[in-house]
Amino acid sequence: MVLLRKTLFLILAILPTVVWAQEREATTRASECIDIFNDVLRQVDVNYVDTLNYEDLTETAINAMLRKIDPYTVYYPKEKNQDLRMLTTGKYGGIGSIIQQRPLKKAKGERLKVKGDSLATYIVNPYEGKPAQLAGVLAGDRILSVDGKSTKGQTVSEVSNNLRGEPGTTVVLELEREGVDKPFKVSIVREDIHLEPVSYATVLTADTLPYPIAYIAFSEFTEGSAQAFANALDELYYNQGARALIMDLRGNGGGIVEEALQLVNLFVDRDQMIVETKGKTERSNNVYKTRNNPRYKELPLIVLVDKNSASASEIVAGSLQDLGRAQLIGQRTFGKGLVQNVRSITHGGHIKVTTSKYYLPSGRCIQAIDYSERQKGRELKRDTAGGILPDIVMDDSAKVDICYTLYMNHYFFDFATRYHRTHDSIAAPKEYEVSDADIEAFCAYLDERKFEYETETSKFFADMIKMAKHEDIDSTTLAQLEALKPILTPDFRAAIERNKEEVKQFLGAEIVLRYYYQKGQAAYNLRYDDELKRALQEIKK
């Protein structure tokens, strides 16, 4: 016993020395690496033939270094503090619109009105009630310049940065719009844009349901988002009579863990451990528990998740699942179980650095695999793929059909832009239907644009014919292959007819967005939502 005590004392005495030695070694190695980098930059500065941009070189070196670690440890120079503010608060100074860069399309033989690069930047989605929408900017407008600076050759990030700025300042956009002869300019006063975390909330009622069901789509965990969710639920429960809840976290990329904790606390008892973080330093190790009595402890709850539900979304979904408080429906979540904290660095910049990992009440880690394994594209076993596996897994495999081709090539989007120009109004989102006449007009539009529907099968067959002509294939066999071409060449009208209901869904979603914006589109899409339909079936049990 005396020997054991002496041994333990010796270990405890040595341990601080070992830790100190390890920390000293790490510091020394880091200092050596910094010295190497400084010397390389100095040598290049003195000897390189041309003048160098030191700021650009330094930022490039830092970003390359951080990419080797994980995709979430990010350097923000002071010029990008707006991006950091948007990330943590959901606010930014700008015009309130989503933009997208895509190739210019034209009909065969048609000349483009505006010359430029093959890539163009378009307004995709102006937010309702925000400066761009109030100034008359429409989805489908092409941005030619921002404050007199051409968008030609710029990336979508560069255009976005030019659109952002201090609230109260003015930005001038030069736009091109289908149906308008000449480009025109629009002056927009930037505002402090705050994206609503509750993107859509409603009560679902039907004769087949036992009682009204609240549905809340929750898009991000930024400052005050949990309170916004609670306010929406209070309205649906107390004023509209909802007696169950479907929480939609699909596409929610996460955010602030404290907001996730407050949201879970609406449904879970006080002093319940929700998530634990474990890292290298003592301040990285934390246990997060609920602090208040739940307001909706007995409310039936289903959570919808998908492969884009990440971080704080996974904390909410995983903890509610672990505690037996909610049923999860959808697809395995993304698997981002890494915690980032923002640290100030010299000269006004910041670094968002991964400091620890998330662990749920059951002890499972959301980040079940090393990021490098996923980055290498290795096949992962189902039980090691990370993320949260729902109680009911729904198939999300996308069909590579006519709808996929039309969507990826923006034909639904472009037709909706024209439709909006020629139709003053449409029915409310919950009642609107794409008619057969609309489908016929859409087909005529595709004819006008000289749309050619190519399937992977038809592409493969065309390549095979080319190869056969170069190889020793006799003319009879080659003629037989050529005879198959009309059979394997797809008819887009026949393909649309086979997939008419799906085509109507995609086309209707784009058209509704033009008139009723994001919330209207959300209401329209719920009618086709398989996960929601399954959730309603579970509630009825």
Per-residue 3-state assignment (H helix, E strand, C coil) for 483-495: HCHHHHCCCHHHH
Q: Give the Cα separation of 444 and 433 in Å (integer).
A: 19
Q: Indicate if the pLDDT at residue 259 is higher than 90.
A: yes
Q: Are residues 223 and 286 in the same domain?
A: yes
CA-to-CA separations, 359 to 274, 315, 424, in angstroms, rounded = 9, 9, 53
Q: How many CB atoms lie within 10 A of CB 209?
A: 14
CA 365, 396, 390, 289 torsion: positive or negative? positive
Give pLDDT, residue 462: 74
Residue 375 lies in a domain: yes
Closest to 214 in 3D by CA, of 229, 195, 197: 229
**Residue 372: predicted pLDDT:** 47
194, 209, 233 — which closes off a domain? Answer: 194
| Structure confidence at residue 15 (pLDDT) | 47
CA gap 55, 51 in Å, rounded: 12
Decide which of 118 and 287 is more confident.
287
pLDDT of residue 378: 46
* Cβ partners under 8 Å of residue 349, min gap 6: 75, 76, 77, 78
Domain match, 100 and 115 both: yes
How confident is the model over 445-464, as a mean pLDDT? 81
408 and 376 co-located in one domain: no
Report if residue 470 sits inside a domain: no
What pLDDT shows up at residue 277? 93
The pLDDT confidence band at residue 345, using thresholds 50, 70 and 90, is confident
Structure tokens at 394: 């729904």
Domain range spanning residue 288?
198-338+355-393
Confidence of residue 72 (pLDDT cuts 50, 70, 90): confident
Taking Cα atoms as reference points, which of 81, 51, 230 lies closest to residue 161? Answer: 81
Higher pLDDT: 36 or 475? It is 36
Whole-number pLDDT of residue 110: 43
- The whole-angstrom separation of Cα 504 and Cα 363 is 45
446 and 316 together in one domain: no
**Residue 382 in this model has a pLDDT that exceeds 80:** no
For 182-207, the pLDDT digits (tens) are 999 999 999 998 889 999 999 999 88
| Domain end marker among 194, 228, 254 | 194
Query: What is the C-alpha to C-alpha distance for residues 345 and 329, in angstroms, rounded to an integer?
Result: 42
User: Is 44 within the bounds of a domain?
Assistant: no
Quick one: 219 and 319 in the same domain?
A: yes
Phi, psi of 325 (to 5 degrees): -95, -20
Number of independent structural domains in the chain: 3
The dihedrals phi and psi of 203, each to the nearest 5 degrees, come to -110, 130
Asked if residues 334 and 309 have their Cβ atoms less than 8 Å apart, the reply is: yes
Residue 51 has pLDDT above 80, yes or no: yes
pLDDT band for position 528 (50/70/90)? very high
Instruction: Determine if residue 351 is left, alpha or beta; phi over 0 gives left, psi from -120 to 50 gives alpha, anything else beta.
Output: beta
- Evaluate whether residue 511 is within a structural domain: yes
Confidence (pLDDT) at 415: 97
pLDDT 10s digits, 328-340: 999 999 999 988 8
Is 261:288 a contact under the CB 8 Å cutoff?
yes
Rounded distance, CA 499 to CA 13, Å? 74
Average the pLDDT over 112-137 and give the result.
83
Q: Angle between the 312-322 and 257-265 helix axes, to the nearest 10 degrees?
A: 30
- pLDDT for 114 equals 43
Residue 488 to residues 453, 463, 484, 498, 503: CA-CA distances in angstroms?
11, 13, 6, 16, 22
What's the CA gap between 412 and 410, in Å, rounded? 6
CATH number at residue 164: 2.30.42.10
CATH of the domain at 363: 3.90.226.10
> What percent of the chain is predicted at pLDDT more than 90?
59
The three-state secondary structure class of 333 is coil
The mean pLDDT of the chain is: 86
Verify that 385 and 275 share a domain, yes or no. yes
Q: How far apart, in whole angstroms, are the C-alpha atoms of residue 356 and residue 276?
A: 10
Residue 80 inside a domain? The answer is no
**Residue 380: band (very low, low, confident or very high) from pLDDT cuts 50, 70, 90:** very low
Largest CA distance in the chain: 97
Name the more confident of 231 and 84.
Answer: 231
Clarify whether residues 379 and 330 are in a common domain: yes
CB 243 within 8 A of CB 299: yes
Of the candidates 503, 305, 300, 506, the one whose C-alpha atom is nearest the C-alpha of residue 394 is 305
User: Is pLDDT at 529 greater than 90 in this prediction?
Assistant: yes
- How far is Cα 245 from Cα 410, in angstroms, rounded to an integer? 35
Task: Phi first, then psi: give them for residue 19, nearest 5 degrees.
Answer: -60, -45
Q: How many helices (H) and strands (E) are present in the chain, helices listed first?
A: 18, 19
Q: Tell whether 214 and 310 lie within a shared domain.
A: yes
Region of poorest pLDDT, from 100-114, 241-255, 308-322, 518-532: 100-114
Per-residue pLDDT, 297: 96
Are 185 and 205 in the same domain? no
Q: Can you give the pTM of this predicted structure?
A: 0.82
3-class secondary structure per residue, 246-295: EEECCCCCCECHHHHHHHHHCCCCCCCEEEEEEECCHHHCEEEECCCCCC
Q: Which of 162, 177, 194 is the last residue of a domain?
A: 194
pLDDT for residue 459: 72
| 31 inside domain | no
Domain shared by 98 and 213, yes or no: no
Same-domain check for residues 144 and 231: no
Q: Is residue 86 part of a domain?
A: no
**Residue 373 pLDDT:** 47
- Only one residue has tokens 């789509």, namely 217
Residue 407, domain member (yes or no): yes
The model's pLDDT over 261-284, given as tens digits with 9 standing for 90+, comes to 999 999 999 999 999 999 988 888
User: What pLDDT score was predicted for residue 108?
Assistant: 44
- Helix extents (H) in 335-491: 371-375, 402-408, 411-422, 436-448, 456-470, 475-483, 485-488
Helix (H, G, I), strand (E, B) or coil at 163: helix
Whether 203 and 190 map to the same domain: the answer is: no
Q: What's the token pair of residue 367?
A: 């980040």
Task: Name the amino acid, one letter, at 164.
Answer: R
The one-letter amino acid code at 121 reads: T
